[in-house]
A and B are shown apart, each in its own frame.
Chain A
C-alpha cells in the first residue's frame, strides 16, 4: 500500500500557492557563517561522520526538573529558599549551641520530617514527568537502516541525518527536511495546530531534485549534505543549502517539517532529520514554564511575616526584661537571687554583662517562640494539594469517555486558586467548539428548511423545562445524540420536504436545485471515492466547506470528481427522476479571503452557459444582488437573523449568468492581475473580481452550526451565574467569533454590542499609502476614540448589558500603555468580551492586562499551541486535552478533556479546595498561636529566662504528630456543601472570588480565638494546680506536672476546635481528630516508659503522677470546654443569624427544603446578581420583552 502513488489533482494548482516559492538565493550566502554552522550528512549514521563534526543533541526530550544526580542538592536548595524553612534551618543550627532552650535532636527531627516529606513529593512529581517523557521518547518511527530497508525505531534513538518515513496522521519525530512524498510533485500537507493553533493545513513541498526518490529501496544509496542555520526558535524561517549529486540547492522553510506538527492528507513522506531533541524549533521556542503561586499562598506569606514580627517583638520584649532582671541579680557584691549564683555566671546569664546576655537571650527566645510559626504548614499544604489533585484526577464526572481522558492536574500548587476565578479567558476553536461544522438549516427561495435543533436552543429549552416546539413538532431532548439518522459527520439536516428527493415537489424546486448545485460546485474540496463501497468522502480546506459538500451529497447532489478543469457530480433529474452525472467546466476560482468575505467560481455548464456561483457573508452579499435578484431578500434576511441568533454561521448563496463577452473581459483582467508582481497585486485581483461579482440573483442562505462542544452553553450559563466573567479570545474572524458568542449565549439579541475595528475609510486610505507611522497614528486615534465612545455608552446606560467585540488589529493599539487602562475599564464594564483575530501574543497580553489591571484571579483555557502564552500568563492555565494537540496541555496547569468539565472543576473542586486550604491555613495559625502563647505566658512566669513549660519532645512533636493530621484531613476531605449543592447554587462560588474565607478579618479572628483559648487554658491550669497539693497523697505539682497538663489541654482544645470547625465528619475525620488525642496519651505512656535518661522529666509522668490524680482529668475537661466556649458562641450566633452563603445552603439541606423548588428558587434568585450572559439571562431577557409586549397590547382599563 505504502509505495503506491496516489493519482490526485495537484492541490497547488487550486490553491494560489505561488507565494511559497520565493527567492532564497540571497540567504544562501550566509551559509557557513556564524550562526549557520550546522552540517548534516544525510543517510549516514550520526549524520556527522566526516571531519570530526561536533556531536549534535540526541532526540531525547527531557522535561524533568532534576536528574538523579542533581535531585538531592537542588531540591534541598529549593526547600531552603522558603523563608520559613530557612528560618527553621537556622534555628536547627542554633539548637546545637548552648543558646537552645531544648535539645538539638528534638529541634532537628521535625525539620527533617518536613523537608523530607517535601522532597519526596518533589521526587514523585518529577518521576511522573519522567514517565511522560518516556512515553513521547518511545514512540516509534520508521527509520532507514541501510540498503533500502526501513525499520521501526524509538524516537529517542533518532540521530541527525537519519532518513525517516512518516505516515499519514503521524507526528514528525524531529525537524525534518522533506525529501519526497506520496504525491508526484512531492508535496505534503501538514497540520500545525500544535504550533500555531491554525487549523487549516499547510502545504510543504520538497526540492524537485529529491522528489523522485520516493520508495524505500531508492534510499539505499541516497547521499546528501545539508548545511544550514544553527538551532533557533524561529518557526517561520529556515536557511540552508543541500548538496545533492554534486549540485547545490537552496533550502527554505517550505522544505522543513517541524516536530510537533502532523502529516495530513498524505500517505507518507520521506525526510532527513535536521534538528533533534532540544534543537528542534518547537522546543527552542518553548519557554521555561513560569512558576505560579496562588494568591492565598501569597497572603499566607504575609501572615507568616506577621507572625515573624510578633515573634521578634515578643522575643525582644522578653530579652529586655530578662536583661534588666539579670542585671538586678548582682549589685556590686550583693547578690539577689543567690540560688542562681549570679557571681559565677557564664555569659548567657552574667549580670555584669547583662546587655550581651540579653542579646544572646534574644536568640534563645527566638528559638523558643519559633513554635509560633507552623513549621509543618508548607509541607501540609503541599501534601493536601497533592491529595486534592488526586481527587480532581479521579473525578469520574470529569472523565471523557470518548477520548478516554480523565482530568489531569499537572501542577498541584494552584488548586485553591480554582475557587477564586474572577475572569475566564477562553480560546474558541477546539475549546468552546469541537472544530467541526454541521449543516443544519437553510433558507431557500425565502422558505426556511431544517428541523435540526442547535445546542443553544436545546440548552434554552432545557432551562425552560418545556418541550421545544420546532416547526410544529414536539421535540424531546433526552439523548438524541444517539439518533442514528444523525450519524453523518458534518450533517444534521432534517426536513422531509427536501430530503430523499422530495425537494422536487416544493414550489421553488428550480431554485432549490440551483442552491444545492452551487453547494456541490462552489468550493475547493477534493473528493475521495472509496472504490469498494462507492462512498465519497471529502478533504476540505475548512470544516465549513466540508459541511457544504456533505450536505449537497446527502441531499442528492453528490460531488465525486474533480480534475484540474472540471467538477463532476451526480444529481436527480427532476423531469426524468433519474440520477444523472453532470460535469461542469471550472474556469476560475475566486478565492475566499477575509476582506472579500466571499468566494466564487466561474463554471461553464453542459449547455455551454457561463455561470458565476457565489457564496459569502450577508454583509457583502446583499449589497451585490441585482435588482431582479432580490425576490427573496426580505425573507432570507429574516431567516439569517434568526439563524445568527441561534448561534449559526450563515452564508448567502447567489449566482448570475455571465455572457461570453463579459467573461472574456474579466478573464483578461483577472489573469493580468494574478500575474502582476507589483505590491498592489491583491488590490488588482479584488478589483477584477468585484467587477464580475455583482448583479447576483439570490438563492438563499445556509446555516452551519459551528458545533459547540457538548454542554458548553450550560457550562457558560452556570459560570455566569457563579459571577465569573468570560472573555473569548480567538484567532478567528469576527463573524465567526460573534456567531459563537451567540451560540454559547455570551451574546444575545438586545445586548448592546460595542465593536472596535479599524475599517474606517481614512485608515484604509492610509494603508494604501503604506506609511506605517501614519497608519499607526490614525489607527491609534481611531481605537482611542472608539474606546472612549464605548465608555460613554456604558456610563450612559445602567440597565442594558454590553458586549465588547474587538479585533486583533485594534487590540494591538488598545494594549498600548497609554490607553490600555481605559480599554480595561471598558472591557470590565461589559458583560462579555470577545477578542477576535488575536495573535497568541495578544492573547497573552490581554491575559496579563486583566490579571494585573484588575488584580483578580484569571483562568485561561485553550487547546492549541497558540494558547500557550495565555495559559502561562494566566493565574491558572487549563489545557483541553480532548484533541490530539499536546502543546497546550504540556504548558497548562490542569488539563481537562472538555470545556464543560470546567463547571465541575471550578464550582465543585475549586470551591472545595479554596475552602479547605483557607480553613486549613487559618487553623494552622490558630493551633500554633495556642501553643506559642502558652509558651510565652509560661516564660513570663519564669522571669523570661527561656524556660519552656514542656519537655523537649512535647515541643517538637506538637506540630508534626498531635495536631497536623486532623488539619490535613480538613484540607483534604472537608466539604461545606456537597457537590450537588455546589452546582445547584453557583453563587456559592462567590465566596472564593470575594475571598471571604481568607480575608484578614477571618485570619485575625482565628488568631484571636487562638489567643483566647491559650490564655484560658494557661491560667486555668496554673490556678487549678498550684501551689496546693494536687492529689490525695499531698504531692504538689512540679514543672513536669503543670507542663504536661497544659499540654494535654492544648492537644484537646485544638483537636476539639477542629471537630467544631469541620463540616463533614467522615470516619477519617474521627480517626484523625480523636486519633491525635489518643496518640498524645500513647506517646506519654511510651515516652514515659523509656529510661529516665531519655525521657528526663517525662519519666513515668503519666502513669505515676497524672493518671491517678482526679484533678488532672477535671482540669483537662474543664479547660478544654472552657477554651472552646467563645468559638462555640460565636459560631452559633453567626450560623443562625448571619449565615454565610454556604451556611444558608447547609440550612436548606438540613431542613430538607432542597426538594421544595419554590424555596430554593427564592434563595437562589434573591441572592443572585442579575446575570447578563448565559442562556438563563437570555431567556429572562426574552421573557421580559414578551411580557413587555403583552402589557402594551393590553387595553387600558
Chain B
C-alpha cells in the first residue's frame, strides 16, 4: 500500500501547487478610490507648500553678461572680439541685491545652448589617465585632443578638459573684495577616486588650438576642482556649474561689483553666459516648480476625489449589470 502510494503520480496537494495561496485581492471600490485620492491630496499639498516656501526663501541673482561684456564696437561681430588675444576681456558688472544673501552664497556660471551632453563630447575623456599617472598614454577615446604637437600625450586629454570654462569672477561690495572660496566645490569622490593626486597636467592646451582654460602644471588633478566640476558633464544644454562659495553675508540693497574676465567663447554657437549667486535650503536652489507641481497634483487629486464622490452619489450603478458587457451590446451572430 505504502509502495503504491509512493509510486502514485497523484499531484501533491499544496496551496501553492493548486494556486490557492492566500492572497489579497484588491479591487478599486469607491472607498479605495476616494481614500487614495484624498491621501495623495492630503500628502502632496503640504509637501508642496513646504517645498514652495523653502524655494521662496532662497535668494537668487542671475546676471547675463555675454552680450553686455562685448564692447560696443564689436557688438556686430563678437567673434573677433573674443578671439583677439590683444583685447582686454575684463568687464565689470554691478548687480543690486534685492534681499539679504545669507552665507554660504554659491557662485555659479550658467551656460545655455552648450551641449555638454553631446555624445562626442561625453565620450571624449580618459578616466584611466585622470586617475593613474602610469596610464597617461591611455588616450584612445580622447581624439582629437589626445596628443600635442610633439605627439606627447596630453593630460588631461579629451574635448571636455580641453574646453574647460575660463571666465573668472572677482566680486566686491562696498568697495571691499569678497573672497570666493574655490575649495570644496567638487564632489569628494572625484578628488578621491577619479582624479589622481599624483597626476599633473601635462602638455595641456599645447596642441595648437586652445580651447578653454589652462591648468597649473604644479597642482595635481585631484586639487583642480574647477576641472572636476567641469568634467561632470551636465545633463541638459542649459546648465549651471559651481564656481565657488562666498562665506560672508551680503546685505540687501547692496550693490555688488563683479569683475569678469570674459574669455569663454559662447558667441560662436549662440550660447549665453550668466553669473548666478544663490543661497540654498534643504531642497537646493530656487525651484518653484517642485512645490507648484506637488500642490497642483495634490489639488487635482482632491478634485478627483470630490468628482468620484459626486459620481457615486448621483450615478449609483447596480453592480453586476451585465448590459454593459461588450458582447451583450454587440451580440454575436
Taking CB atoms, residues of chain A closer than 8 Å to B326 are 994, 996, 1140
Can you show 13 pairs from A to B with CB atoms below 8 A apart? Answer: A396-B18, A975-B23, A1026-B234, A1034-B106, A1035-B242, A1036-B241, A1068-B21, A1125-B297, A1132-B33, A1136-B33, A1136-B312, A1148-B319, A1150-B27
Please tell me which one of the listed residues A335, A975, A1121 contacts residue B297 in the complex, with CB atoms under 8 A apart: A1121
| B-contact 0/1 string along A1009-1029, CB 8 Å cutoff | 000000000001011111111
A204 to B39, CA, bound (A): 83
Point out the residues of chain A lying under 8 angstroms from B322, CB to CB: 1141, 1144, 1163, 1166-1167
Q: Do A1033 and B280 form a contact, CB below 8 Å, given A1066-B22, A1132-B308? A: yes
The 7 A-B pairs of least Cβ separation, nearest first, read A1028-B285, A1034-B106, A1167-B322, A344-B144, A1042-B235, A1029-B285, A339-B163
**Docked-complex contact A1065 and B19, CB < 8 angstroms:** no
Asked if B293 and A1020 sit within 8 Å, CB to CB, the answer is yes
Contact pattern, A 932-960, Cβ under 8 Å of B = 1, otherwise 0: 00000000011101110100000000000
- Which chain B residue has the least Cβ–Cβ distance from A338? B268
Identify the interface centre among A101, A1035, A1091, A1093: most chain B CB within 10 Å of its CB.
Answer: A1035
Is B68 an interface residue, CB under 8 A from the partner?
no
Does B323 belong to the interface (CB within 8 Å)? yes
Beta-carbon contact of A1039 and B235 below 8 Å: yes
Residue of B nearest to A1091 (CB): B193
Selected contact of B19 from candidates A945, A975, A994, CB within 8 Å: A975
Interface check A1153, CB cutoff 8 A: yes
* Of B29, B128, B144, B320, the contact of A1163 (CB 8 Å cutoff): B320
Cα-based distance from A1066 to B268 in the complex (angstroms) = 61
Instruction: Judge if B286 is at the interface, Cβ distance under 8 Å.
Output: yes
Query: Interface 1/0s, chain B 284-300, versus A by CB < 8 A?
Result: 11110110011001001
Let me know if B304 and A1129 touch, CB within 8 A.
yes
**Total A-B pairs, Cβ < 8 A:** 301
Closest residue of B by beta carbon distance from A979: B19
Q: Which residues of B contact A1162 (CB under 8 A)?
A: 320
Q: How far is the CA of A1032 from the CA of B145 in the complex (A)?
A: 36
With a CB–CB cut-off of 8 A, which chain B residues contact A583? none
Tell me if B325 and A1092 are in contact (CB < 8 A). Answer: no
Given A341-B159, A1118-B297, do A1037 and B23 touch, yes or no (CB 8 Å)? no
Tell me, yes or no, whether A15 is within 8 Å of chain B by CB.
no
Say how far A650's CB is from chain B's closest CB, in angstroms.
Answer: 37
Chain B residues with CB under 8 Å of A1131's CB are 28
Q: A1024's closest neighbor in chain B, by CB? A: B290
Which of A483-491, A533-541, A834-842, A1102-1110 binds B? A1102-1110
Contact of B11 (CB < 8 Å), options: A406, A1093, A1166 = A406
- B22: chain A residues within 8 A (beta carbon): 1066
In the complex, B175 has a CB within 8 A of chain A:
no
Of B109-117, B213-221, B255-263, the segment with at least 4 beta carbons within 8 Å of chain A is: B109-117
Stretch of B84-92, B118-126, B149-157 contacting A (4+ beta carbons < 8 Å): B118-126
Q: Which residues of B contact A334 (CB under 8 A)?
A: 268
Q: Tell me if B240 and A406 are in contact (CB < 8 A).
A: no
Query: Shortest Cβ distance from A1137 into chain B, in angstroms?
Result: 6
B13 contacts across to A, CB distance below 8 A: 396
A391 in the interface (beta carbon within 8 A): yes
Q: In the assembly, what is the distance between CA of A1109 and CA of B239, in Å?
A: 19
Shortest Cβ distance from B206 into chain A, in angstroms?
15
The answer to whether A1028 and B115 touch across the interface, beta carbons within 8 angstroms, is no
Additional 11 contacts, C-beta under 8 A, given A345-B120, A1034-B106, A1121-B44: A337-B269, A396-B13, A942-B118, A1034-B245, A1037-B235, A1063-B25, A1114-B290, A1135-B27, A1137-B317, A1140-B326, A1153-B319
B193 in contact with A1099 (CB, 8 Å): yes
From B23, B278, B297, B320, give the contact of A1122 (CB < 8 A): B297
Please report which residues of chain B, range 274-333, place their CB below 8 angstroms from some CB of chain A when the two chains form the complex: 278, 280-287, 289-290, 293-294, 297, 300-301, 304, 308, 311-312, 315, 317, 319-328, 331-332
Q: Is A531 interfacial (CB 8 A cutoff)?
A: no
Contacts of A1143 in B (CB 8 A): 27
CB-CB under 8 A from B283, the residues of chain A are 1030, 1110-1111, 1114
Which residues of B122-141 have CB atoms within 8 Å of chain A's CB atoms?
Answer: 122, 127-128, 131
Q: Mark B228-241, 1 if CB is under 8 A from A, else 0.
A: 00001111111111
Q: How far is the CA of A404 from the CA of B193 in the complex (A)?
A: 66
Q: Tell me, in angstroms, the Cα distance from A1063 to B19 when the chains sit together.
A: 14
User: Out of B11, B239, B321, which one reaches A1036, CB within 8 Å?
Assistant: B239
Distance from A790 Cβ to chain B, minimum over Cβ atoms (Å): 18
Q: Closest residue to A975 on the B side, CB-wise?
A: B19
Which A residue's beta carbon lies closest to that of B130?
Answer: A1092
* A990-B40 Cα distance, complex, nearest whole Å: 37
Give the distance in Å from the alpha carbon of A1169 to the alpha carbon of B331 in the complex. Answer: 8
B284's partner among A912, A1030, A1125, A1159 (CB-CB below 8 A) is: A1030
A690 to B312, CA, bound (A): 80
State whether the Cβ of A548 lies closer than 8 Å to any Cβ in chain B: no
Contact A1066 B28 (CB under 8 A): no
- Is B104 at the interface (CB under 8 A from chain A)? yes
Interface size range of chain B in the complex: 35 or more
Nearest neighbor of A1022 in chain B, beta-carbon distance: B236
Given contacts A337-B269, A1104-B188, contact A1125 B294 (CB under 8 A): no
Residue among B9, B114, B118, B144 with most chain A CB within 10 A: B118
Interface residues of A in 331-360 (CB under 8 A from B): 334-341, 344-346, 348-349
Say whether B320 contacts A994, CB under 8 Å: no
Q: Which of B290, B297, B304 is in CB contact (< 8 Å) with A1111? A: B290
B9 touches A406 (CB 8 A): yes
CB of B104 within 8 A of CB of A1034, answer yes
Q: In the docked arrangement, what's the CA distance between A603 and B10, Å? A: 53
Give every chain A residue within 8 A of B17 (Cβ-Cβ).
391, 394-396
Query: In the complex, A874→B248 CA distance in Å?
Result: 84
- Asked whether A1114 lies within 8 Å of B51 as measured between CB atoms, the reply is yes
B285 A941 Cβ-Cβ under 8 A: no
Q: Give the shortest distance, in Å, between B332 (CB) and chain A (any CB).
A: 7
Q: Given B28, B47, B286, which contacts A1135 in the complex, CB threshold below 8 Å?
A: B28
A395 to B15, CA, bound (A): 11
Chain A residues whose CB sits within 8 angstroms of the CB of B282 once the complex forms: 1032, 1110
Q: Which residues of B lie under 8 Å from residue A1129 when comparing CB positions?
A: 304
CB distance from A205 to the nearest CB of B (A): 39
B51 to chain A minimum Cβ distance, whole angstroms, is: 7
Q: Which of B17-59 contact A (CB under 8 A)?
A: 17-30, 33, 36, 40, 44, 47, 51
Q: Which residue of B lies closest to A1065 (CB)?
A: B24
CB-CB under 8 A from B290, the residues of chain A are: 1024, 1111, 1114-1115, 1118
B265 in contact (CB, < 8 A): yes
Q: A338-B211, A973-B19, A1162-B320 are in contact. Are A1027 and B144 (CB under 8 A)?
A: no
Q: Which residues of A contact B300 (CB under 8 A)?
A: 1125
Complex contact A1166–B323 (CB within 8 A): yes
* Residue A19 is within 8 A (CB to CB) of chain B in the complex: no
Whole-angstrom distance from the CB of B45 to the nearest CB of chain A?
Answer: 12
B119 engages A1043 (CB within 8 Å): no
B194 in the interface (beta carbon within 8 A): yes
Q: How far apart are A946's CB and chain B's nearest CB, in angstroms? A: 5
Q: Is A1138 an interface residue (CB 8 A)?
A: yes
Q: Does A289 contact B (CB under 8 A)?
A: no
Are A1023's CB and B289's CB within 8 A?
yes
Are A341 and B10 neighbours in the complex by a CB distance under 8 Å? no
Interface centre among B9, B28, B240 (most CB of A within 10 A): B28
A478 to chain B, nearest CB (A): 23
Closest to B15 in A: A1066
The answer to whether B193 and A1027 have CB atoms under 8 Å apart is: no
Contacts of A396 in B (CB 8 A): 10-11, 13, 17-18
Looking across the interface, which residue of chain A has its beta carbon closest to that of B106? A1034
Expressed in whole angstroms, the Cα–Cα distance for A1023 and B55 within the complex equals 14
Interface status of A772 (Cβ within 8 A of chain B): no
Output the nearest chain B residue to A1138 by Cβ-Cβ distance.
B324
* Residues of chain B within 8 A of A1167, CB atoms compared: 322, 325, 328
B3 within 8 A of A: no
